[in-house]
Copies of this chain bind each other. A is one copy, B any other.
Amino acid sequence: MSYNTFGHLFRVTTWGESHGPALGATVDGCPPGIEISEEFIQVFLDRRRPGQSKMTTQRQEPDRVKILSGTFEGRTTGTPIQLMIENTDQRSKDYGEIARQFRPGHADLAYHQKYGIRDYRGGGRSSARETAARVAAGGVAQAVLKALVPGLRITGYMVQMGVKQISRERFDRDEILRNPFFIPDAAVVDEWADYLEAVRKNQNSVGAMIEVVAEGCPPGLGAPIYAKMDSDLAAAMMSINAVKAVEIGEGMAAAGLTGAENADEIRMGPSGPVYETNHAGGILGGITTGQPIVLRFAVKPTSSILTPRRSIDVAGNEVEVITKGRHDPCVGIRAVPVAEAMMACVILDHLLLDRGQTGGVRGRIG
Q: Which of A161-205 contact B (CB under 8 A)?
A: 161-163, 199, 204-205
A227 interface residue per 8 A CB criterion: yes
Pairwise interchain contact A257-B315, C-beta atoms closer than 8 A: no
Pairwise interchain contact B254-A298, C-beta atoms closer than 8 A: yes
Residue in B closest to A101 when the chains form the complex, CB atoms: B266
Pairwise interchain contact B287-A21, C-beta atoms closer than 8 A: no
A56 interface residue per 8 A CB criterion: no
- A23–chain B nearest beta-carbon distance, Å: 7
**8 Å CB contact of A285 from B14, B106, B204:** B106
Pairwise interchain contact B2-A28, C-beta atoms closer than 8 A: yes
A61 interface residue per 8 A CB criterion: no
Q: Which of A223-262 contact B (CB under 8 A)?
A: 223-228, 230-232, 234-239, 241, 244-262
A161-B9 Cα distance, complex, nearest whole Å? 39
A50 interface residue per 8 A CB criterion: no
**8 Å CB contact of A125 from B2, B77, B298, B302:** B77
Pairwise interchain contact B244-A318, C-beta atoms closer than 8 A: no
Contact with B along A60-73 (1 / 0, CB 8 A): 00000010111010
Contacting residues, chain B, for A138 (C-beta < 8 A): none
As for how many copies of this chain the complex holds, the number is 4
Give the number of chain A interface residues (Cβ < 8 Å): 160
Taking A104-B264, A244-B250 as given, write out 5 further A-B residue pairs in contact, using a Cβ cutoff of 8 Å, ordered by the A residue number: A15-B26, A15-B81, A75-B117, A126-B224, A259-B307
Identify the stretch in A40-48, A149-157, A273-281 within 8 Å (CB) of chain B at 4 or more residues: A273-281
- A170–chain B nearest beta-carbon distance, Å: 20
Pairwise interchain contact A265-B311, C-beta atoms closer than 8 A: yes
Contact with B along A114-126 (1 / 0, CB 8 A): 1111110000111
Given the known interface contacts A111-B287, A225-B125, the answer about A260 and B307 at a Cβ–Cβ threshold of 8 Å is: yes
Pairwise interchain contact B265-A116, C-beta atoms closer than 8 A: no
A254-B357 Cα distance, complex, nearest whole Å? 37
A356 interface residue per 8 A CB criterion: yes
Pairwise interchain contact A1-B162, C-beta atoms closer than 8 A: no
A363 interface residue per 8 A CB criterion: yes
Pairwise interchain contact A69-B15, C-beta atoms closer than 8 A: yes
Pairwise interchain contact A234-B238, C-beta atoms closer than 8 A: yes
- A229–chain B nearest beta-carbon distance, Å: 10
9 closest A-B pairs by CB:
A107-B285, A356-B356, A316-B366, A245-B247, A3-B227, A205-B259, A116-B363, A110-B287, A114-B220
**8 Å CB contact of A238 from B28, B231, B253:** B231
- A93–chain B nearest beta-carbon distance, Å: 16
A98 interface residue per 8 A CB criterion: no
Contacting residues, chain B, for A256 (C-beta < 8 A): 160, 162-163, 206-207
A106-B114 Cα distance, complex, nearest whole Å? 39
